[in-house]
Structure 1
Amino acid sequence: MTARQVQLIAYPSGRVGPENFRVAEVELPAPGEGEVLVRNQFTSCDPGMRLRLRESGPAGYFNSFPLNAAMDEILTVGEVVESRAEGFAPGDAVTHAWGWRDYAVVKAGQPSLGGVGTLAHIDTSLAPPEKFLGAVGNMALTAWVGLIDAAELREGDVVWVSAAAGAVGSLAAQIAKLRGHTVIGSAGSPAKVRYLLDELGLDAAFDYHDGPVGDLLRGAAPDGIDVYFDAVGGDHLQAALAALRPWGRIAMCGAISEYESTEPQPGPTNLFQAVANNLTLRGFRASAYLHRFPEAQRELAGYLAEGRLAYRETIVDGLENAPQALMRMLAGDTTGKTLVRVS
């Protein structure tokens, strides 16, 4: 049997381009003992993948993608076609981390992506399979623990969420809103700002292109904020440090503003505000909070079933278009979760 897979053929310098990838047809081995063959249906595009398109990524993060080989450890959902692993049978809906290919042989119990990508059944009575890459999957866990554990969300908090029209940000903004908080969102276009206000029901929103981010944030939250959910870094982080009230908290899950930079980016110039105002800055990764996944998933699935959670997806058809989907997402040309429909 043969299968198609997207391979990285050159590490990009600056912006990612189609010339960095190819689609290869490879021989697919039959599943061995403890393995399953999965027909992939949807595969993910996430901002953090850009860090793995470097020859050497950030210390402590996931490994860089190798050249001229399958791009392993990308979250995916699909259907089991053949199984030699106990507990899995043909027809089972599963999630795993061997995406950006149409078929994958996956070993049961083999940890991947810190545990979030280990082969697992998905309960399609909770939500359709593709939602397990977004609204009730790892994105949900990131948004939920970022607010509840990293930012220690408290009654009466005013919350600012950057990249609030994205896969994680749109969930974080709505979780905070559904829990009764005042929520400000920022995004990168007038259409996304309307989405934040009209569909997500946020209290205020702004387009960060409209002026200095600090000025825009002060206009949206003149009395300051208590929590900043950070996926952007850079000038957004600097603006948050200036706007946070005493004992404010920052939950940092990304820094997309610097992912495609060819040179190291400077940090905020007002970091002393953390000392002056007793602030807490906490970086976090969802894989460190797997024990919280069932609770997060129940809450988000409940909101989704009740029709209280709006969750857009930008779906790009065809495995061969996965690089284009990633490029669109990094350029800010997608809303919500970016997915590739493999088959």
Structure 2
Amino acid sequence: MKQILLAKRPKGMPGQDDFTFQETEVPSIGEGEVLVKTLYLSVDPYMRGRMVDAKSYVEPYKLNEVISGGVVGEVAESQFSGLEKGDIVVGMLGWQEYSAVQGKHVRKIDPEVAPVTTSLGVLGMPGLTAYFGLLDIGEPKEGETVVVSGAAGAVGSIVGQIAKIKGARVVGIAGSDEKISYLKEELGFDAAINYKTSDNLKKELAEVCPDGVDVYFENVGGEISDAVFYHLNKFARVPVCGAISAYNKEERDIGPRIQTTLIKSSALMKGFVVGDYSSRFGEASKELGKWVREGKLKYEETIQEGFENIPDAFLGLFKGENIGKQLVKVAEPEGK
């Protein structure tokens, strides 16, 4: 079977030579374990941080070891009483065609309830991240203005729709005309700005946010955020989910100091990771699933096919190539 290892720690933007493909034997399993055949694999921006040997909220990847992330797979063999061959499961597994794992470390999903890929997107980590970041920290109220950066991505697209469900006015920031059309025409955003073609983002934000910004869901950092901060209203809330603009910088990111802005606006700016809310995942999953079934929450998936294209799909995240959740399809299920 094929595996992908981290060959070296990237300097700046990662490249193909940071990854190594390796062939090895399909692992055998012992008591309490299952052999999982990878069907779909998730690539996410946070993985870039794990490629650096630095203290963070999650352990860094080790050199010359298999990279890991969210995987939907099919049980190929089982020595675990709770799972049988043909069951579809989701878990944090390796970038490899098969994984031997303790059965308790994967979760069975029902393909009849929703497409299995949603467990890596709208009903998985991105959906949970959007739900808790917006509702717990952002606390949007009816009639308020919510601005979302990275708005066409896996998290941002869900944030904007939940804000609409809660009665807010939603403005998205994204990086292509195609994404702007998607946000307004498909997802119902009230306005959207293409930051790549904007001559003056601060001025454009003033035009589409005439009453200022009450909630800014932060996904990107950098100059986009500098422009949004200028428009924060009194008691604005800023959930900080990501800062993808800085992930590949070799030097420390430097920009305007935010303290004075926060003081003047009495704003709350709070960073978070989805794991902070692990005890409440059930609550969020139930609500997200309900909104999807009711048609209130739409989702898009960008799916690249082929195990060999996993690095390409990952690198494409930093070029803004995906709309919605970026996945890689590795194999078809064999069935029970």
Contact kept in structure 2, 1:47 and 1:256, CA below 8 Å:
yes
Runs of 4+ with >4 A deviation: none
Which deviations, in whole Å up to 9, do the C-alpha atoms of 1:78-126 show, x marking residues without a partner?
11111122312212111111132111011233xxxxxxxx411123232
What is the alpha-carbon distance in structure 2 between the residues aligned to residue 291 and residue 157 of structure 1? 29
2:74 pairs with 1:79: yes
Query: Which residues in structure 2 correspond to 1:172-211 (within 5 Å)?
Result: 172-209=159-196, 210-211=198-199
Contact kept in structure 1, 2:61 and 2:67, CA below 8 Å:
yes
2:133 pairs with 1:158: no
Partner of 2:99: 104
Aligned counterpart for 1:22 among listed residues 2, 20, 23: 20
What is the alpha-carbon distance in structure 2 between the residues aligned to residue 247 and residue 22 of structure 1? 48
Letter of the structure 2 residue corresponding to residue 93 of structure 1: I
Aligned counterpart for 1:220 among listed residues 202, 205, 208: 208
Query: Which residues in structure 2 correspond to 1:299-314 (within 5 Å)?
Result: 299-314=287-302
Contact kept in structure 2, 1:151 and 1:282, CA below 8 Å:
no
Counterpart of 1:139 in 2: which secondary structure?
Answer: helix
Letter of the structure 1 residue corresponding to residue 99 of structure 2: A
Q: How many residue pairs are counted as aligned between the two chains?
A: 330
What is the alpha-carbon distance in structure 2 between the residues aligned to residue 123 and residue 214 of structure 1? 46
What is the alpha-carbon distance in structure 2 between the residues aligned to residue 129 and residue 276 of structure 1? 46
Contact kept in structure 2, 1:241 and 1:271, CA below 8 Å:
no
In the TM superposition, what is the alpha-carbon distance from 1:51 to its structure 2 partner?
1.0
What is the alpha-carbon distance in structure 2 between the residues aligned to residue 5 and residue 304 of structure 1? 34
2:50 pairs with 1:63: no
Distance 1:99 1:211, change over 3 A: farther
Which range is displaced more, 274-283 or 231-240?
231-240
In the TM superposition, what is the alpha-carbon distance from 1:17 to its structure 2 partner?
1.3
Contact kept in structure 2, 1:150 and 1:283, CA below 8 Å:
no
Partner of 1:288: 276
Counterpart of 1:65 in 2: which secondary structure?
Answer: coil
Counterpart of 1:264 in 2: which secondary structure?
Answer: coil
What is the alpha-carbon distance in structure 2 between the residues aligned to residue 98 and residue 216 of structure 1? 43
Letter of the structure 1 residue corresponding to residue 218 of structure 2: D
Contact kept in structure 2, 1:208 and 1:216, CA below 8 Å:
no
In the TM superposition, what is the alpha-carbon distance from 1:324 to its structure 2 partner?
0.4
In the TM superposition, what is the alpha-carbon distance from 1:247 to its structure 2 partner?
0.6
What is the alpha-carbon distance in structure 1 between the residues aligned to residue 72 and residue 25 of structure 2? 21
In the TM superposition, what is the alpha-carbon distance from 1:282 to its structure 2 partner?
0.8
Which range is displaced more, 252-261 or 12-21?
12-21
In the TM superposition, what is the alpha-carbon distance from 1:304 to its structure 2 partner?
2.0
Partner of 2:334: none
What is the alpha-carbon distance in structure 1 between the residues aligned to residue 140 and residue 200 of structure 2? 27
Which deviations, in whole Å up to 9, do the C-alpha atoms of 1:210-260 show, x marking residues without a partner?
134322221210210100100111223322322111111000011001001
In the TM superposition, what is the alpha-carbon distance from 1:264 to its structure 2 partner?
0.6
Superposition CA RMSD, Å: 1.5
Partner of 1:112: none
Partner of 2:121: 134
What is the alpha-carbon distance in structure 1 between the residues aligned to residue 277 and residue 258 of structure 2? 30
Contact kept in structure 1, 2:27 and 2:98, CA below 8 Å:
no
Which deviations, in whole Å up to 9, do the C-alpha atoms of 1:126-182 show, x marking residues without a partner?
211111000111111000001111222233321001100000000011111122110
Counterpart of 2:24 in 1: which secondary structure?
Answer: strand
2:1 pairs with 1:6: no
What is the alpha-carbon distance in structure 2 between the residues aligned to residue 131 and residue 177 of structure 1? 21
Identify unmatched segments of 5+ residues in structure 1: 110-117
Query: Which residues in structure 2 correspond to 1:231-242 (within 5 Å)?
Result: 231-242=219-230
Give percent identity, aligned residues only: 41
Contact kept in structure 2, 1:164 and 1:173, CA below 8 Å:
yes
Contact kept in structure 1, 2:27 and 2:99, CA below 8 Å:
no
Contact kept in structure 2, 1:76 and 1:96, CA below 8 Å:
yes
In the TM superposition, what is the alpha-carbon distance from 1:7 to its structure 2 partner?
1.2
Letter of the structure 2 residue corresponding to residue 142 of structure 1: T
In the superposition, the TM-score normalised over structure 1's length comes to 0.92
What is the alpha-carbon distance in structure 2 between the residues aligned to residue 291 and residue 183 of structure 1? 29
Identify unmatched segments of 5+ residues in structure 2: 332-336
What is the alpha-carbon distance in structure 2 between the residues aligned to residue 288 and residue 322 of structure 1? 28
Contact kept in structure 2, 1:188 and 1:207, CA below 8 Å:
yes
Letter of the structure 2 residue corresponding to residue 304 of structure 1: V
Which deviations, in whole Å up to 9, do the C-alpha atoms of 1:238-296 show, x marking residues without a partner?
22322111111000011001001111111433431111111101111111112222222
Which range is displaced more, 14-23 or 211-220?
211-220
Aligned counterpart for 1:44 among listed residues 42, 45, 49: 42
Distance 1:206 1:197, change over 3 A: same
